[in-house]
Chain A
Amino acid sequence: MSLIEIEGLRKVYRSPFLRREVVGLEQLDLSVETNEIFGFLGPNGAGKSTTLKILTGIIQATAGSAKIAGQPVGTPAAREILGFMPEFPTFHDFLRAEEFLTFYGELSGMRREALPARIDEVLSLVGLPGVQDRPLRGFSKGMLQRIGLAQAVLHDPDLVILDEPMSGLDPVGRRDVRRLMEGLKAQGKTVLFSSHVLNDVEEVADRITVVREGRNVLSGTIESLLSGQRFELVVRQQPASGAWTKTAEGYHCYCEHEEAAQLAVRALSEAGISIVRCQRERRSLEELFFLDISEEESP
């Protein structure tokens, strides 16, 4: 059984006075397995935050079903194993860091005597050691993002949901968040996160799904999605036939599929031409993302 199971999820935002309807999610299907880092991608307004809000009980779905560990979302039982950090987190800034985390620990039912040690631990984990007595009012945007992560992992949840965790962070902060996610995975936890920073997603996610206009348009493991159909072939000397391009490495060309590449390698070997490299083309996530968007936009 998947840890998160979403089937046919639909969300319509209704304006009661204007009688206007905005579709936030059309027909979303998604499953997140235990102990994986799952990236949730899509352009602005695609339905990423809407999905995460439904999962965390902030809003209710109009139709379809969503379950966490077999429990319907919206029930306290579904939120037992959940830690969540929203996009652009805002907190009660009159609190000091320790008071803030104690408050969330108590809401999560943590034992009071275990809290001080755990607070020290998570503050170090998110790169904020020694800030226990500082009021949140004086925190920078990056520090607020980090303390938001601290409250999400404070009660050691099995599932951590992060909405745009890298936004507002400098490169060091982004690296720390990636490490934190990897650390959570190493502990057997599951992480579901949305992000606009495609390089970060590519580096850290095991599987991704791309949503647009409330539907999944692309899903799979990073490896399967980024591996292209074409094969890149690089040789030292220019062969007599074929469309070869000269580069610093030698001459290279693309074969459209694996069989064509095998035939080309055999022919080159017979001709005595030494092959530098023959491998499946790998796209970046950014290329894939924009390729997918341009396919949708073309008439």
Chain B
Amino acid sequence: MTRAVLAIAQLTLREALRKRVFVNLAVFAALMVGVSLLMTGLTIGQHQRVIHSVSFTVLAVVGNLLAVFLGAGLIAHEVERRTLYTIVSRPIRRWVFVVGRYLGLASVLAINTLIGGLLVKVVLMISNYPAFEHFMVSLCLIYAEMLIVLSISVVFSAFSTPTLSATFSFCFWVIGRLSVELQELAVLAKNDGLATAMNAAYSVLPNLGRLDPMNLLIHNELPDGGHVGMLLLYTLLYIGVMLAAACWTFERRDLK
């Protein structure tokens, strides 16, 4: 089964390369150069922080949009194009396909994040600024967020159309970014039922705000090991649950 998973992951990576998914990096690079030039003229003494802030935001937005749209088509596109017929008729379980596709897209996003990070470093070097102390940790947080968003879009892709999957996953990403607000709303709510609903939604929805590298950038201090461990565990658990749900749904689905 491992070989089949790797074959599907490799197919996914090859598809991304041949369909020029990484063209987004050119857009990102152009944005970065433009923003750094603009900010040099607009800010005093905060250039380095602004470049970091803007670049992390753009990298996260572009990466998560990629996760939403690539993840949404991960199964749904294959069902629509009927390319799955010859794959599922092989002696493999359907979860192999889901996991293989997920790993393939996760490696696409990893390459994207790494090259994006490299571009930021180049821009900083050209501007004669040192890179932020926790630069790599910030990239890892951005990547972890993408992996969670990708796993959510895979769940929707397992039973819905590419358009609906992308719409749902996009909404989940936005809500996930703001899910802390739900907890605060629950405290403020005067109605018990509403407070319970808010708390329940907070527990189920991803808490992507925790993975925002801006906290690191502002405080310039790494949280303690226990907190990092919890973040890592949270990310892995969330992805695990989402992938299990996607596999369970896809195993039972008729591919009409």
Residues of A within 8 A of B87 (CB): 107
Q: Is B11 an interface residue (CB 8 A)?
A: yes
Q: Measured between alpha carbons, how far is A287 from B211 in the docked complex, in Å?
A: 71
Query: Which of B83, B92, B254, B255 sits near A107, CB closer than 8 Å?
Result: B92
Q: Is B15 an interface residue (CB 8 A)?
A: yes
In this complex, what residue of A is CB-closest to B10?
Answer: A103
Residues of A within 8 A of B92 (CB): 76, 107
Residues of B within 8 A of A198 (CB): none
**Binary contact track B51-80/A, C-beta < 8 Å → 1, others 0:** 000000000000000000000000000000
One of A78-86, A118-126, A173-181, A219-227 at the interface = A78-86
Residues of A within 8 A of B84 (CB): 58
Looking at B8, B14, B82, B85, which has the most chain A CB atoms within 10 Å of its CB?
B85
Query: Which of A76, A86, A95 sits near B85, CB closer than 8 Å?
Result: A86
In this complex, what residue of A is CB-closest to B254?
Answer: A59
Whether the Cβ atoms of B255 and A58 lie closer than 8 Å is: yes
How many chain A residues touch B (Cβ–Cβ < 8 Å)?
A: 32
Whether the Cβ atoms of A151 and B86 lie closer than 8 Å is: yes
Whether the Cβ atoms of A13 and B86 lie closer than 8 Å is: no
Q: Is A56 an interface residue (CB 8 A)?
A: yes
Q: Is A20 an interface residue (CB 8 A)?
A: no
Whether the Cβ atoms of A57 and B88 lie closer than 8 Å is: yes
Q: Given A92-B15, A94-B19, A107-B7, do A58 and B81 touch, yes or no (CB 8 Å)?
A: no
In this complex, what residue of B is CB-closest to A151?
Answer: B86
Q: Measured between alpha carbons, how far is A106 from B4 in the docked complex, in Å?
A: 6
Whether the Cβ atoms of A60 and B82 lie closer than 8 Å is: no
Whether the Cβ atoms of A76 and B255 lie closer than 8 Å is: no
**Binary contact track A88-104/B, C-beta < 8 Å → 1, others 0:** 11111011000100011
* Residues in B1-36 with C-beta less than 8 Å from chain A: 3-4, 7-8, 11, 14-15, 18-19
In this complex, what residue of B is CB-closest to A112?
Answer: B3
Q: Given A94-B14, A103-B11, do A56 and B89 touch, yes or no (CB 8 Å)?
A: yes
Whether the Cβ atoms of B19 and A86 lie closer than 8 Å is: no
Whether the Cβ atoms of A85 and B86 lie closer than 8 Å is: yes
Q: Is B225 an interface residue (CB 8 A)?
A: no
Q: Is A214 an interface residue (CB 8 A)?
A: no
In this complex, what residue of A is CB-closest to B84?
Answer: A58
Q: Closest approach, in angstroms, between the C-beta of A167 and any C-beta of chain B?
A: 15
Q: Closest approach, in angstroms, between the C-beta of A59 and any C-beta of chain B?
A: 4
Looking at B84, B87, B89, which has the most chain A CB atoms within 10 Å of its CB?
B89
Q: Measured between alpha carbons, how far is A151 from B11 in the docked complex, in Å?
A: 16
Q: Measured between alpha carbons, how far is A266 from B234 in the docked complex, in Å?
A: 94
Whether the Cβ atoms of B14 and A99 lie closer than 8 Å is: yes
Looking at A60, A84, A89, A90, which has the most chain B CB atoms within 10 Å of its CB?
A90
Q: Is A148 an interface residue (CB 8 A)?
A: yes
Q: Is A108 an interface residue (CB 8 A)?
A: yes
Q: Is A171 an interface residue (CB 8 A)?
A: no
Q: Is B49 an interface residue (CB 8 A)?
A: no
Q: Closest approach, in angstroms, between the C-beta of B6 and any C-beta of chain A?
A: 8
Q: Closest approach, in angstroms, between the C-beta of A96 and any C-beta of chain B?
A: 10
Q: Is A109 an interface residue (CB 8 A)?
A: yes
Q: Is B90 an interface residue (CB 8 A)?
A: yes
Q: Closest approach, in angstroms, between the C-beta of B67 and any C-beta of chain A?
A: 21
Whether the Cβ atoms of A148 and B86 lie closer than 8 Å is: yes
Q: Closest approach, in angstroms, between the C-beta of A264 and any C-beta of chain B?
A: 55
In this complex, what residue of B is CB-closest to A13?
Answer: B256
Whether the Cβ atoms of A89 and B86 lie closer than 8 Å is: yes
Query: Which of B3, B81, B86, B254 sits near A109, CB closer than 8 Å?
Result: B3
Q: Measured between alpha carbons, how far is A92 from B84 in the docked complex, in Å?
A: 10
Q: Is A276 an interface residue (CB 8 A)?
A: no
**Binary contact track B213-256/A, C-beta < 8 Å → 1, others 0:** 00000000000000000000000000000000000000010111
Q: Given A58-B255, A103-B7, do A84 and B82 touch, yes or no (CB 8 Å)?
A: no
Q: Closest approach, in angstroms, between the C-beta of B251 and any C-beta of chain A?
A: 10
Q: Is B91 an interface residue (CB 8 A)?
A: yes
Q: Measured between alpha carbons, how far is A263 from B19 in the docked complex, in Å?
A: 77
Whether the Cβ atoms of B89 and A92 lie closer than 8 Å is: no
Q: Is A77 an interface residue (CB 8 A)?
A: yes
Can you list 21 A-B pairs, Cβ within 8 angstroms, ordered by A? A57-B88, A58-B85, A58-B88, A58-B254, A84-B89, A86-B85, A88-B82, A90-B82, A90-B83, A92-B11, A92-B15, A92-B83, A94-B14, A94-B19, A95-B11, A95-B14, A106-B7, A107-B90, A109-B4, A109-B91, A151-B86
Query: Measuring CB to CB, which residues of chain A are less than 8 angstroms from any residue of chain B?
Result: 13, 53, 56-60, 76-77, 79-80, 82, 84-86, 88-92, 94-95, 99, 103-104, 106-109, 148, 151-152
Query: Measuring CB to CB, which residues of chain B are less than 8 angstroms from any residue of chain A?
Result: 3-4, 7-8, 11, 14-15, 18-19, 81-93, 252, 254-256
A-B CB proximity, top 3 nearest: A56-B89, A106-B7, A94-B18
